[in-house]
């Protein structure tokens, strides 16, 4: 649980950095590709494959392609059809996919976890909802693919490490995650990237370096390790904790305007969903097996 909280704080600051220094200035697909490359460079020297089961290695490539590659390809394409508030609104369905995919892989149905995820969606929706425009269905579909891919990646990672016994620690396999994402991120830039929107200042390069090494490299690794230590319901709820955290950072650090009443009410609903799952779900094991 501590890993998830720490990464949520890290990503809350990273989200603001993207909005303040990269959005509209550096091509978003190039930014994603740079994050994949930089994150991979951190873990590639640590890679050890001797004795690693083939299905585990293949699975890690797949979850990397899903959690980073497909997710961001669809996310950034959705911006062509949706306004920013619509994108933020439609990403709050991620916890539902986390819970449903986790239950499907475990061949069970956990109604409390599903209720907790639904409450988390409600809480984030309270914070972000501002109405939608007409003609958004294609963008909405792209966002749902992105949400499902991100959910499948983190849940799949947790189940992979629990199912297969690896002869080396998790950090010596995590380069496979970025190697799986690299072809998808590269294809996204080749198809949709704008070669004119390249980093042009030291600030651009500094933010990209931070996002690639800290947010994507360290952050994604710790997030997935945290996912291995909690149940599906708690993981689903934590996927939406970034919403109030990101708003608080924007409010306190950059002085952005926010509806404090919505923030307090939505954050309280998310907190309630976390407590509900931990208190009543028969599958809530906060100290569960680590990957």
Q: What is the pLDDT of residues 12-36, one digit of tens each?
A: 777 677 767 877 788 888 988 998 9
Angle (nearest 5°) at CA 98 between 94 and 102: 170
160-179 per-position pLDDT tens digit: 888 887 777 888 888 998 99
List of the chain residues with pLDDT < 70: 1, 15, 19, 80, 83-89, 127-136, 232-233, 236-237, 240, 242-244, 246-247, 250-251, 254-259, 263, 274, 278, 281-291
pLDDT score of 159: 83
Whole-angstrom distance, CA of residue 147 vs CA of residue 99: 12
pLDDT score of 287: 31
Q: Which of 112, 108, 110 is nearest to 120 (CA)?
A: 112
pLDDT score of 250: 64
CB 224 within 8 A of CB 171: no
Whole-angstrom distance, CA of residue 230 vs CA of residue 43: 24
- In this structure, the number of other CB atoms found within 10 A of the CB of residue 214 comes to 17
pTM greater than the 0.85 cutoff: no
pLDDT score of 179: 94
pLDDT score of 38: 93
Whole-angstrom distance, CA of residue 263 vs CA of residue 252: 13
pLDDT score of 94: 79
Q: What is the pLDDT of the chain when averaged over all its residues? A: 78
* Alpha carbon separation from 247 to 10, 102, 119, 251, 276 (Å, rounded): 13, 28, 19, 6, 24
Whole-angstrom distance, CA of residue 289 vs CA of residue 53: 19
Residue 274, classed as helix, strand or coil, is helix
pLDDT score of 230: 75
* Alpha carbon separation from 248 to 78, 196, 234, 243, 263 (Å, rounded): 25, 33, 22, 9, 8
pLDDT score of 100: 78
Whole-angstrom distance, CA of residue 47 vs CA of residue 178: 11
């Amino acid at each position: 649980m501590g890993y998830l909280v720490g990464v949520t704080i890290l990503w809350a600051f990273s989200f603001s950095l993207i909005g303040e220094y990269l959005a509209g200035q550096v091509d978003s697909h190039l930014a994603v590709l740079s994050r994949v490359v930089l994150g991979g460079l951190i873990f590639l020297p640590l890679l050890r494959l001797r004795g690693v089961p083939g299905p585990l290695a293949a699975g890690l490539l797949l979850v990397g392609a899903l959690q980073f590659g497909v997710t961001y390809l669809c996310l950034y394409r959705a911006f062509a059809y949706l306004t920013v508030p619509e994108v933020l609104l439609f990403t709050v369905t991620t916890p539902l996919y986390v819970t449903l995919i986790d239950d499907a892989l475990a061949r069970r149905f956990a109604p409390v976890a599903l209720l907790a995820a639904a409450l988390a969606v409600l809480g984030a929706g309270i914070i972000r909802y501002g109405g939608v425009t007409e003609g958004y269905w294609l963008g909405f579909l792209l966002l749902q693919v992105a949400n499902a891919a991100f959910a499948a990646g983190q849940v799949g990672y947790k189940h992979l490490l629990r199912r297969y016994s690896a002869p080396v620690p998790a950090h010596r396999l995590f380069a496979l995650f970025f190697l799986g994402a690299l072809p998808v991120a590269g294809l996204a830039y080749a198809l949709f990237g704008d070669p004119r929107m390249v980093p042009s200042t030291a600030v651009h390069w500094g933010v990209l370096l931070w996002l690639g090494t800290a947010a994507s490299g360290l952050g994604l690794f710790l997030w997935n390790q945290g996912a291995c230590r909690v149940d599906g319901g708690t993981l689903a709820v934590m996927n939406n904790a970034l919403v109030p955290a990101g708003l608080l950072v924007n409010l306190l650090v950059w002085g952005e305007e926010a509806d404090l009443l919505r923030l307090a009410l939505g954050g309280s609903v998310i907190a309630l969903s976390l407590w509900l799952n931990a208190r009543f779900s028969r599958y809530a094991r906060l100290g569960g097996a680590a990957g």
